[in-house]
């Protein structure tokens, strides 16, 4: 399909911004290097989402460099994975951490909601998906297969289907639908990695748990932006469940410049009472555009793409806007936001891009 010139220009602009967040190691920073918020570090989950932009444009060399770096992280900390497999961790620092130094691959030891099962699920999901399409592309040898197998065993030892974690937002420990769903998707895809064994019961327990948690995200949250991941990229819910998630997200969480994460979110809360004015996350708009495009609703996909374009700041796509304002936070550009914006630009009918 012939691409609109404005589309090509916008796509190239944001790919360049995203490329600027990558270190020589292959890992991406969450935001611009040197940002004082600490987002110059590399998160497993953020790298998973940041690579999606390069997948859709066919730059698999960048994707490979990132996932090879992630495998090296796990090899460096393999002793810790072994310890967690042998005995379920009792303390959060004993879990596989979710963020690392992007050059040395060292852990950051301060408390940061380090127990995040979905971060392991998402990496297994992508390793398996990439192997499904091209054997040996990422998983090159027995060392790599050993690590992938240990990640499966790790989720088994945790009994992820009823293991409370800090979830996508790295906050209070609960049983999160988004975390259970990520693990289910990861284990399903891991079956495509040659030499890696995943017992069906391990997947079934997760699917059963997910059905019990839904339609909520958790006991505390009746709806959450993170639940969109259950629709895409993970595809672990039925059409009826997906319809319900979308209805709840759009009715309760959608705002002018983004989607709030959940009701009562205190992160970058601009209201003096510190409670009622939740920040508006820009990538929620791109996420909805991608989902509606994949569901065949091009009209709604284009509507959300236009909203996402309107939320772009001069230096890139921000993490979030303060509620009911044009002020965005310092995590600009946010790599995850840039990537989902690129995927939305690529997937939604480019001829409509103005």
Per-domain boundaries in the chain: 1-22+253-354, 41-240
pTM (two decimals): 0.96
* pLDDT, position 275: 58
Buried b (16+ CB within 10 A) or exposed e, 301-315: bbbbbebbbebbeee
The per-residue pLDDT for 133 is 93
What is the 3-state secondary structure of the chain?
A: CCCCHHHHHHHHHHHHHHHCCECCCCCECCECCCCCCCCCCEEHHHHHHHCHHHHHCCCHHHHHHHHHHHHHHHHHCHHHHHHHHHCCCCCHHHCCCCEECCCCCCECCCCCCCCCHHHHHHHHHHHHHHHHHCCCCCCCCHHHHHHHHHHHHHHHHHCHHHCCECCCCCCCCECCHHHHHHHHHHHHHHCCCCCCCCCHHHHHHHHHHHHHHCCCCCCCCCCCHHHHHHCCCCCCCCHHHHHHHHHHHHHHCECCCCECCCCCCCCCCCCCCCCCCCCEECHHHHHHHHHHHHCCCHHHHHHHHHHHHHCCECCECCCEECCCCCCECCCCCEHHHHHHHHHHHHHCCHHHCC
Q: Which burial class, exposed, middle or buried, applies to 58 when counting CB atoms under 10 A from its CB (0-12, 13-18, 19+)?
A: exposed
Name residues of the chain where pLDDT drops below 50: none
Tell me what pLDDT residue 113 has.
74
């Amino acid at each position: 399909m012939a691409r609109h010139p404005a589309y090509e220009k916008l796509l190239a602009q944001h790919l360049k911004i995203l490329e600027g967040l990558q270190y020589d190691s292959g890992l991406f920073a969450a935001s611009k290097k040197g940002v004082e918020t600490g987002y110059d570090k590399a998160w497993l989950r953020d790298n998973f989402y940041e690579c999606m932009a390069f997948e859709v444009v066919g730059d698999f060399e960048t994707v490979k460099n990132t996932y090879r770096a992630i495998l090296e992280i796990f090899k460096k900390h393999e002793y810790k994975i072994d310890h967690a497999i042998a005995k379920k961790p009792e303390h959060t620092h004993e879990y596989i951490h979710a963020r690392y130094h992007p050059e040395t691959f060292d852990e950051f030891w301060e408390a940061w909601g380090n127990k995040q099962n979905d971060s392991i699920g998402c990496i297994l999901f992508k390793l398996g998906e990439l192997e499904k399409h091209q054997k040996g592309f990422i998983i090159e040898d027995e060392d790599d297969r050993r690590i992938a197998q240990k990640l499966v065993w790790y989720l088994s030892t945790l009994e992820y289907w009823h293991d409370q974690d800090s979830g996508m937002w790295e906050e209070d420990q609960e049983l999160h639908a988004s975390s259970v769903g990520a693990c289910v998707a990861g284990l399903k895809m891991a079956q495509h990695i040659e030499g890696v064994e995943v017992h069906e019961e391990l997947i079934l327990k997760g699917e059963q748990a997910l059905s019990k948690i839904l339609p909520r995200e958790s006991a505390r949250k009746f709806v959450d932006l993170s639940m969109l991941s259950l629709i895409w990229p993970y595809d672990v819910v039925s059409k009826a469940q997906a319809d319900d998630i979308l209805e709840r997200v759009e009715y309760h969480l959608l705002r002018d410049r983004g989607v709030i994460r959940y009701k009562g979110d205190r992160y970058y809360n601009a209201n003096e009472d510190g409670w009622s004015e939740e920040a508006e996350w820009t990538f929620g708009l791109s996420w909805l555009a991608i989902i509606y495009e994949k569901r065949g609703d091009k009209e709604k996909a284009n509507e959300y793409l236009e909203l996402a374009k309107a939320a772009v700041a001069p230096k890139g796509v921000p993490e979030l806007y303060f509620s009911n304002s044009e002020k965005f936070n310092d995590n600009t550009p946010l790599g995850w936001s840039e990537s989902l914006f690129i995927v939305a630009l690529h997937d939604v009918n480019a001829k409509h891009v103005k």
